[in-house]
Homo-oligomer: A and B are copies of this chain.
Amino acid sequence: MPLGKPRPERADAARNRELLLANVREMLAAGGAGSVTMDALAERAQLGKGTVFRRFGTRAGIFRALLDADERSFQEQVLYGPPPLGPGASALDRMVAYGQARIAFLLDHHSVARAALDRNQPAPAGEATITRVHLRMLLGQAGLNLPDLDTLAVQLTGALEGPLLLYVVLPEPETPPSPAAGRPLAESWSVLVHRLLRAEPGTTPG
Contacts and interface: CB of A to CB of B under 8 A. Distances in A.
Contacts of A184: 148, 150-151
B159 A155 contact: yes
Give the interface residue-count category, chain A: 35 or more
Tell me the interface secondary structure of chain A in the complex: helix
A18 interface: no
Interface string A131-167: 0100000000000001110111011111111110111
A195 B191 CA distance: 11
B168 A123 contact: yes
A167 B132 contact: yes
Count this chain's copies in the assembly.
Answer: 2
Contacts of A151: 163, 169, 184-185, 187-188
A72 to B, nearest CB: 21
A89 to B, nearest CB: 21
Interface in A154-206: 154-163, 165-169, 184-185, 187-189, 191-192, 195-196, 198, 201
A148 B189 contact: no
Contacts of A128: 166-167
Contacts of A148: 184, 187-188
Contacts of A155: 159-160, 162-163, 185, 188-189, 192
Contacts of A195: 195-196, 198
A154 B132 contact: no
Contacts of A167: 122-123, 128, 132, 154, 157-158
